[in-house]
Amino acid sequence: MLNEILNHAHPILVHFPIVLITVGLLYDLFVSIRRRALPLSQGIWIWLAAALSAWLSVATGPEEDAHGNTSFLDIHSTLADITAWAVTLLVAARLFLLFRGKQSLVRTTLVVYLAVAVASCGLVLGTGYYGGKMVYDNGVGVKVNGTSVNPPKGNHDG
């Protein structure tokens, strides 16, 4: 059973950054609108979990399953990498500002922060869209009775 879970780590894990980034953005927007500021220590755990889950999703992506049989792999992988870096940047900025003694984001810094958070959400949703296209349109990683529906084609040095 553990081997089965490890073989399916990517499709299990990818849902976490989608949810956590979306929830983190909605939380930050709600708090920012309500208070006209964003306390840096509030909601940081959502973003830390989002960054960790984004990197775990990137690390477990089974690229070998997609080589040669989908045109969506490059854009999916690129969006995933950019998403993980954008969320990591948000977390790093918040932690840096917290350690420097800043309590809240206001005005321009808040707007810039929220713009990156909105972009992160768009990026993760785009990543999920192209991942879904690979699975549902191209059958990447799909097996029926133990046989791949669309097995990888050729050798690829990655």
Q: Domain map of the chain by residue range?
A: 2-61+71-139
Measured CA to CA, the distance from residue 4 to residue 34 in angstroms comes to 45
pLDDT score of 64: 80
Averaged pLDDT for residues 108-125: 97
Mean per-residue pLDDT over the chain, rounded: 92
pTM, to two decimals: 0.89
pLDDT score of 154: 63
Structure tokens at 128: 């999920």
| pLDDT at residue 1 greater than cutoff 80 | no
pLDDT score of 81: 98
User: In which region does residue 59 sit, left (phi positive, over 0), alpha (psi from -120 to 50) or beta (all else)?
Assistant: alpha
pLDDT score of 155: 55
pLDDT score of 139: 87
Measured CA to CA, the distance from residue 149 to residue 52 in angstroms comes to 31
- Write out pLDDT tens, residues 21-65: 999 999 999 999 999 999 999 999 999 999 999 999 999 998 887
